[in-house]
Amino acid sequence: MGIGYATAYRAGITPWEKAGREDQPTLLHLLEREEQARSGRVRRAIDLGCGRGDNTKLLLDRGWDAMGVDNVRQAVDIAVRRNGLDDARFVIGDVRHLVHSGVGTNFDLFLDMGCFQSLDDVGRTLMAGGVTKLAEPDATILIRTGGARAWPVRPKDAIRRDIERAYRGWEVAPLTGVDAPASTTPARSSGGNRGEWFRLTRP
């Protein structure tokens, strides 16, 4: 995973960042929902596969006690400089080994915009296990699948059953219709650059 993204960052080819900006209205809508459910308390979030930190910064600006984790050092270094953030807000680490990466514990929200899908089946299960161990009982996971990826990351899609297989014990709900603005809800297109949002909770 890291080699492909590191190469892409060095070459300045980051199409997933453009896709993320285009999808931001949906993300903002979903964050508002999470914030309303947790008003009046400190909210802790982790940005999985944070890249250059755009969404980590967004979470911080919205009042979350947020951390970003990514295994591409160059991306994390840029995240610190470009966003004017303390480097303590970022961890250079492997999302497959979250528990011992130094990100902390007791998170209310896990944001995953394209990270899950870039892993193989074993990696997905390992990341899900770490997320589960670090999550508060009422935590939420927001996962966006689809979109551009870095070459040579293998082009494997992630669909609902993939998420359910990795995140055992979580309820997986696709976010469409009333759950996100109709004008910004990404529609799934096989082989394309569009994707789908999922919200995970524990019963």
For residue 152, whether the previous peptide bond is cis, meaning omega lies within 30 degrees of 0, is yes
- Per-residue pLDDT tens over the stretch 61-97: 999 999 999 988 888 888 888 888 888 899 999 999 9
Could you tell me what percentage of the chain is helix, strand and coil, using 3-state DSSP and rounding each to the nearest 5?
40, 20, 35
Please state, as a whole number, how many other Cβ atoms lie within 10 Å of the Cβ of residue 184.
14
Structure tokens at 172: 């997986």
pLDDT band at 135 (very low <50, low <70, confident <90, very high): very high
pTM, entire model = 0.83
| Mean pLDDT calculated for residue range 114-121 | 90
Distance CA(54)–CA(186), nearest Å, equals 20
**Nearest to residue 138, comparing CAs of 174, 171, 103?**
171
Say whether 186 sits in a helix, a strand or coil.
Answer: coil
User: In the chain, what are the domains?
Assistant: 2-201 (3.40.50.150)
Mean pLDDT of the chain: 83
